Amino acid sequence: MAQAEACGSLSLVQPAMSPIAMTILLVAGWGLFAWSARRRWKLMMIGRPEGRGDHVGQRVKLALRFAIGQARMPRYQFSGLAHVLVFSGFIVLLLRSLILWGRGYSEDFNFWLFAPTQTLGMIYAVLKDTFVLLVLLGTCIFFYYRLVKRLPRLTLNLDGVIILGIIFMMMLADVLYDTAYMAQADHQAYKIEYAGYILHGALTGLSSGTLSVLEHLGFWTHTSLVLIFMNILPYSKHFHIITAVPNVFAADLTPRGRLVPIEDMEGKIEREETLGVAAIQDLSWKGILDLYTCTECGRCSDVCPATKTGKLLSPKHLAVDLRDHLYARQNEVMNIKAPSASDGSLNSVPLVSMDLIKPEVLWACTTCRACEEECPVFITFVDKIVDLRRNLVMERAEFPDELQNAFRGLETSGNPWNYPADDRLKWTEGLDIPLISDHPDAEVLFWVGCAGAFDARAQKVTIATAKLLKHAGVNFAILGLEETCTGDPARRAGNEFLFQTMAEQNCETFKGHNIKRIITACPHCFNTLKNEYPDFGGKFEVIHHTDFLLDLVRRGKLKPQKEVAATVAYHDSCYLGRYNDIYDSPREILRSIPGVTVVEPEDTRDRGMCCGAGGAQMFKEEEEGDERVNAVRTGQLLKALDIVDNESQTTNHAVASACPFCMRMLSDGIADKQREDVRQLDVAEVLCESVLGKELTAETAESAENQ
């Protein structure tokens, strides 16, 4: 009977009950939090409207997988594990906090279904103690990374240590509460809550008064710290605990390679409305929610090619600087007070300035999306950087001098290199390549692109691709002189007006020829045609040449027969991989070729480092830094080849890519490192060598010399 009564009181409450004290604590804690949350909501809503309420089912799945399930956290093994432990613990222990608040009013409160005499209560008791210990382990890992190892990617400030200390103390207080009560009771009944049971023996010699004090201390410390912690969140980087789920839920579900167009460009110019982002309120509400959600974990900057090579750009610091600026002027943007004369109005404080965000920060971005792929809470950076560039270019006319040449070339000659438009067909000499104007029944349009048409090295890839298409009997044609740049360099550089002009022109050309299917060897053209032209009425099937060629190989239309004895390190183009998830096709083509051994650099696939050409970097000088991006990436690829050399003593090797921009950057990198023993080839060239039996080595070397 005595044991049954003990089991019935397994709720562990007991003398801590104090309705008045608990009411004061809850009203004060929740009231202050409601006030802070309302201010943060009002501040967020100064941003531009943006619809993110569509496809609710898809959004819920996304939030469950990435915000609740922490799917991206294991990418950093130990810190990721620690975060999963702490976050999961918070979810499990949220019920414990609610129960303890309830026990301030009734010592038997257990949310009815979770009484320890019931099955759910027993299961939860074990879970609760397990996650208390796991959270303690997770916080210890975080303490180690912050105070001992001091990871460079982390923001090492007092704020993070205080939050970790609060979490740690909450867990200890919970265990103390259980332990002190068990030391006063028939402890055999409480084995199910094993953390307190294991430790209760250490307190059994203390007086009942002392045990009661310890029990109260554990109870009120835990219940108070939860509310203190909750009220710190809106004012610290840990606000992401609240905003991460809605931020992931509100993620952009349109293709990752799509930049949102500026609607009614001409009307905005006539009305003198802001183009791009000039001031903080020009961000959308989702852009501001991104700033709230930044955890300052530094994963974005850890993988950023600009940060890696010593440029001023750090995605983490960009987000933090924007957020700090927003918080510093929150009263003004919410119209709570007028700006002082010394501050100036909000509109007179441009985001891009020497005092806030230096222009060099923006122009260092290669738009590779490595930062966005790594961010565990789906913060976007490329759209914000491009929007800031848009304002610089179209309103302030402030951009690197080299881009003026690219813009002029796009406007006058339809290519960023300023080559005469009539030279676009020079690569076809002697090849009998059909024009769409002469063959309107062509099933496929081969979009050559500016690099493929004008760059001497990229022309080799165009020729190889065209020969493979003809060999396979593909009914294709090209636009010839009707082709002009897609406008991708202009858009990524911020010249949205020029891009939209070119996009509309190209879409009219496509409609005039009733184009339905397009293949291209340039990932930048591929991404723009596939993901961005639909906004301008251009809806057609777009296929990258590696996907198209692989399909021909699988169907037996192309048969790799000649052995190409080589070890090949494959480099992933950002606009092919991270933007469009094409990783396997290039590798499958290479592996289908007799004699080819494919090796991977340490950073590969969705973590592959950018070559440094994207985001219009191809057409401007690289921002000042410690190293060049292409040099670092080339070194990674050569290292992968050298490791194989040391193991197998092979000497015939190459770096393969599937992008003309990457080819140019990697070729320069190989030349700078004086590695004449390494060829730089497109996947199509290697396949062509195997299918048609043409030796490309001499041809490639001659081309490199000419450049």
CATH number, position 162: 1.20.950
pLDDT single digits (tens) 17-61:
689 999 999 999 999 999 999 999 999 999 999 999 999 999 999
Q: Which among 394, 428, 444 is the end of a domain? A: 394
Same domain, 483 and 592: yes
Give the pLDDT band (50/70/90) at residue 649.
low
Return the minimum-mean-pLDDT range out of 346-360, 508-522, 552-566.
346-360
- Tell whether 481 and 437 lie within a shared domain: yes
Helix (H, G, I), strand (E, B), or coil: what is residue 75? helix
The helix or strand, by DSSP H or E, that contains position 543, with its residue range, turns out to be strand 541-544
Positive or negative, the CA dihedral 59, 540, 466, 614 is negative
AA letter at 620:
K
Average pLDDT score, the chain:
88
User: Are both 415 and 390 inside the same structural domain?
Assistant: no
Neighbours of 456 (CB within 10 A): 13
Q: Which of 394, 429, 455 is the last residue of a domain?
A: 394
Span 374-400, pLDDT tens digits: 999 999 999 999 999 999 999 999 999
> Looking at the structure, do residues 288 and 323 belong to the same domain, yes or no?
yes
Question: What percent of the chain stands above pLDDT 90?
Answer: 66
Output the CA angle 467-473-476, nearest 5 degrees: 75
Residue 379 lies in a domain: yes
Backbone angles phi, psi at 193, to 5 degrees: -95, 80
Same-domain check for residues 544 and 561: yes
DSSP 260: P
Structural domain of 421: 403-706
Asked if 412 and 462 sit in the same domain, the reply is: yes
Query: Does residue 24 lie in a domain region?
Result: yes
Is 428's pLDDT higher than 90? yes
Enter the tokens of residue 555: 């169907």
Number of structural domains found in the chain: 3
Report H helices in 19-118.
Answer: 19-44, 56-62, 77-103
pLDDT of residue 158: 81
Distance between alpha carbon 276 and the CA centroid of its chain, in Å?
21
Residues 410 and 387 both lie in one domain = no
pTM of the model as a whole:
0.89
> How many Å separate Cα 80 from the centre of its chain?
16
Q: What is the pLDDT of residues 216-255, one digit of tens each?
A: 899 999 999 999 999 999 998 889 999 999 999 999 999 9
Residue 2 has pLDDT above 80, yes or no: no
pLDDT of residue 561: 92
Residue that terminates a domain, selected from 394, 412, 444: 394
Give all strands (DSSP E) within 432-560, no chain letters. Answer: 444-447, 476-477, 517-520, 541-544
- Residue 180 reports pLDDT greater than 60: yes
- Please report the pLDDT score of residue 203 as a whole number: 75
Residues 425 and 574 in one domain: yes
- 629-640: per-residue pLDDT in tens? 999 999 999 999
Average pLDDT over residues 78-105: 87
Residue 1 within any structural domain of the chain: no
Query: How many beta carbons lie within 10 A of that of residue 245, not counting itself?
Result: 17
Both tokens assigned to 1:
């009977």
Tell me how far apart the 2 most distant CA atoms of the chain are, in Å: 101
Q: Is the pLDDT of residue 187 over 70?
A: no
Asked whether residue 523 carries a pLDDT value surpassing 70, the answer given is yes
Predicted local confidence at residue 698, as pLDDT: 39
Residue 421 has pLDDT above 60, yes or no: yes
Give me the residue label for tokens 């040391």.
646
Confidence class of residue 697 from pLDDT cuts 50, 70 and 90?
very low
**DSSP state letter for 562:** S
Domain assignment present for residue 179? The answer is yes
Strand intervals (E) in 349-463 = 444-447
Residue 257 lies in a domain: no
Comparing 421 with 107, the larger pLDDT belongs to 421
> Taking 70 as the threshold, does the pLDDT of residue 114 lie above it?
yes
Least-confidence region, from 131-135, 435-439, 608-612: 131-135
Angle at 21 between CA 20 and CA 24, to 5 degrees: 85
Whether residues 27 and 168 share a domain: the answer is: yes
Report, as an integer, the average pLDDT of 480-500: 97
User: What whole-number distance in Å separates Cα of residue 8 and Cα of residue 610?
Assistant: 63
363, 614 Cβ separation under 8 angstroms = no
Q: Is residue 5 part of a domain?
A: no
DSSP for residue 479: -
- pLDDT(116) > 50: yes
pLDDT at 701 over 50: no
Q: Are residues 463 and 334 in the same domain?
A: no
Looking at the fold, whether 535 and 562 belong to one and the same domain comes out as yes
The pLDDT confidence band at residue 198, using thresholds 50, 70 and 90, is confident
Residues with Cβ within 8 Å of residue 705, at least 6 apart in sequence: none
Q: Are residues 416 and 385 in the same domain?
A: no
- Which pLDDT belongs to residue 638? 95
Cα 76 versus chain centre, distance: 14
- Helix, strand and coil in the chain, % to nearest 5: 60, 5, 35
- Mean pLDDT to the nearest integer, 357-364: 96
pLDDT number for residue 347? 55
d(CA 80, CA 74) in angstroms, rounded, equals 5
254 falls within a domain: no
Distance CA 93, CA 139 (A): 15
pLDDT for position 342: 47
- Average confidence (pLDDT) over 431-455: 95
Quote the pLDDT of residue 484: 97
Q: Which CATH number characterizes residue 329's domain?
A: 1.10.1060
Tokens for 631, please give them.
């040099």
Q: Mean per-residue pLDDT for 618-622?
A: 94
What does the alpha-carbon distance between residue 63 and residue 243 come to, in Å, rounded to a whole number? 11
Tell me which of 323 and 330 has the higher pLDDT.
Answer: 323
The pLDDT of residue 448? 97
Examine residue 3 and state whether it is found in any structural domain, yes or no: no
Instruction: Say which DSSP state 162 is in.
Output: H
Read out DSSP for 263-289? SSHHHHHHTT---S--SGGGSBHHHHH
CB contact at 8 A, 326 and 289: no
